[in-house]
Amino acid sequence: MAACTAIVGINWGDEGKGRMVDLLTEDFDIVVRFQGGGNAGHTIINKYGKFDLHLLPAGVFRENVVNVLGNGVALDPEILAKEIEDLQGRGISITPKNVMISDRASLLLPWHRKLDVLEERRLKEKKTGSTKQGIAPFYSDKYQKKAVLAGELFYPEKLRQHLNDLRVWKNMILTNVYGADPVSEEELEAWLHNCCEKLMPFIRDTRAYLLEAERNQRRILFEAQLGALRDPDYGIYPYTTSSNVLAAYAPIGSGLPGAKIDRVIGVFKAYSTCLGEGPFVCEFKGEEAERLRKLGGEEYSMTGKPRRVGPIDLVATRYGVQVQAATELTLTKLDVLSSLDEIPLCVRYRLRGEEIDYFPYPADLEECEPVYETMKGWKCDISGVRDWWDLPREAQAYVNRIENAVGQVIRCISVGPERHSIIRRG
Least CB distance to ligand GDP at residue 62 (A): 16
Least CB distance to ligand GDP at residue 22 (A): 9
Q: Tell me: does residue 15 bind ligand GDP (CB under 6 A).
A: yes
Q: Using the minimum distance from each CB to ligand GDP, give the nearer residue, 77 or 417.
A: 417
Please select the residue that binds ligand GDP; options are 2, 41, 119, 160, rule is CB under 6 A. 41
Restricting to residues 376-415, name those near ligand GDP by CB under 6 A. Answer: 414-415
Q: Using the minimum distance from each CB to ligand GDP, give the nearer residue, 147 or 331.
A: 331
Least CB distance to ligand GDP at residue 414 (A): 3
Please select the residue that binds ligand GDP; options are 19, 33, 54, 132, rule is CB under 6 A. 19
Q: Tell me: does residue 416 bind ligand GDP (CB under 6 A).
A: yes
Least CB distance to ligand GDP at residue 43 (A): 3
Q: Tell me: does residue 14 bind ligand GDP (CB under 6 A).
A: yes
Q: Tell me: does residue 43 bind ligand GDP (CB under 6 A).
A: yes
Restricting to residues 332-361, name those near ligand GDP by CB under 6 A. Answer: 332-333, 335-336
Question: Alpha-carbon dihedral of residues 104, 110, 116, 118, nearest 10 degrees?
Answer: -160
Q: Tell me: does residue 18 bind ligand GDP (CB under 6 A).
A: yes
Q: Tell me: does residue 417 bind ligand GDP (CB under 6 A).
A: yes
SS (H, E, C) the chain: CCCEEEEEECCCCCCCHHHHHHHHHHHCCEEEECCCCCCCCEEEEECCEEEEECCCCCCCCCCCCEEEECCCCEECHHHHHHHHHHHHHCCCCCCCCCEEEECCCEECCHHHHHHHHHHHHHHHHHCCCCCCCCHHHHHHHHHCCCCCEHHHHHCHHHHHHHHHHHHHHHHHHHHHHCCCCCCCHHHHHHHHHHHHHHHHHHEECHHHHHHHHHHCCCCEEEEEEEEHHHCCCCCCCCCCCCCCCCHHHHHHHHCCCCCCCCEEEEEEECCEEECCCCCCCCCCCHHHHHHHHHHHCCCCCCCCCCCEEECEEHHHHHHHHHHHCCCEEEEECHHHHCCCCEEEEEEEEEECCEEECCCCCHHHHCCCEEEEEEEECCCCCCCCCCCHHHCCHHHHHHHHHHHHHHCCCEEEEECCCECCCEEECC
Interface segment toward ligand GDP; rule CB under 6 A; list 15-23, 161-169, 322-330, 352-360: 15-23
Interface segment toward ligand GDP; rule CB under 6 A; list 40-48, 246-254, 319-327, 397-405: 40-48
Interface segment toward ligand GDP; rule CB under 6 A; list 36-44, 112-120, 303-311, 371-379: 36-44
Size of residue set near ligand GDP by CB under 6 A: 19
Least CB distance to ligand GDP at residue 416 (A): 5
Q: Tell me: does residue 55 bind ligand GDP (CB under 6 A).
A: no
Interface segment toward ligand GDP; rule CB under 6 A; list 187-195, 246-254, 316-324, 331-339: 331-339
Tell me which residues are annotated as active site: 14, 42
Footprint on this chain of ligand GDP (rule: CB under 6 A) = 9, 14-19, 41-43, 45, 332-333, 335-336, 414-417
